[in-house]
Structure 1
């Protein structure tokens, strides 16, 4: 749906205008001219800021007595706007300059039909091959290696002779592996 700015021409007498002082749109909009009296020429002009992103096909519009006419103000693709919000003035003139009104126009591309712009990257699948492990699965290797180290140390205490050195060395290796696994998995 296109926003519409209503302009009443000759409602309060010959060459008079009734125009809102402010107007907001999210993109292209219409200027609806409603002539309540004698035929008239209505001129529409955009200031420099608005004319950077918008345009009117023709600036001079003849509106016959009792006639309504709609003029579309086209805008560039919002991605080409200098910012999300552009403010400027629309000049409305009747009777070849006898009456002039300025409308403060705000074009806000973020309000476009309530739509939300989504980054296309969000539609691509996640290529991360390292999914998060549940906490229990992360701690099982630490518990197993720690238990092996404790069993080897207990075995070294109850055994005698030259095998003590071998079992003690294995206990040190198991304890080192347990510490490395804990650092990697829990850190």
Structure 2
């Protein structure tokens, strides 16, 4: 099912029409008038059968050269429709009656029930958060400080006695804590 009926005005010359021969709708739809030539008046009318379930607000529409116009065909509450589909004709006229064409319209509330409704928001890409710091750069200070601590610990253990050995042991413990912190930051 399509939600719009495209009508070409003046595409093949002045006061010409190209109207689809058939159209099916489950409810309201839009008639898209596309004017390919000189400015024109287009007249739209629903026959008596279609008028039992639908209506057009205005019947006469002016369309500038090279422009398009959307005409809404509104429907009454589907619960008031007959049980069977409603069939009728949409009359489209240009050139003050010079060209007339008809589209066979079927209003069937069941025609759209087998279609899957897709949320239009799915067509838009998801927003990406602003660039966040890569995990390697987040842990880089921990790795540098841990390496310095290990170097100081090794130097202290090999160069001195007493206090130096204690500081070296603490530095080694600090390096171990840095390694644990790096592990948890990279997870």
State whether TM-score is above 0.5: yes
5+ residue gaps in structure 2? 116-187
User: Cα–Cα, structure 1 residues 91 and 3, in superposed 2: closer, same or farther, change >3 Å?
Assistant: same
Q: Match of 2:15, SS?
A: coil
1:42-80, Cα deviation, whole Å (9 max, x unpaired):
000000000011000000000000010100100011110
Measure, in 2, the Cα distance between the counterparts of 1:90 and 1:53.
13
The answer on 1:65 being equivalent to 2:38 is no
Q: Equivalent residue for 1:120?
A: none
The answer on 1:107 being equivalent to 2:107 is yes
Q: Equivalent residue for 2:138?
A: none
Are 2:94 and 2:100, in contact at CA under 8 Å, matched by a contact in 1?
Answer: yes
Q: Equivalent residue for 2:15?
A: 15
1:20-31 alignment runs, 5 A limit: 20-31=20-31
Are 1:2 and 1:30, in contact at CA under 8 Å, matched by a contact in 2?
Answer: no
Measure, in 2, the Cα distance between the counterparts of 1:2 and 1:75.
15
Q: Equivalent residue for 1:78?
A: 78
Measure, in 2, the Cα distance between the counterparts of 1:29 and 1:87.
15
Measure, in 1, the Cα distance between the counterparts of 2:37 and 2:102.
21
1:1-187 alignment runs, 5 A limit: 3-114=3-114
TM-score (normalised: structure 1) = 0.59
TM-score (normalised: structure 2) = 0.59
User: RMSD in angstroms over aligned alpha carbons?
Assistant: 1.8
Are 1:84 and 1:109, in contact at CA under 8 Å, matched by a contact in 2?
Answer: no
Q: Equivalent residue for 1:149?
A: none
Q: Match of 1:109, SS?
A: coil
Q: Which aligned segments of 4 or more residues in structure 1 are displaced greater than 6 angstroms?
A: none
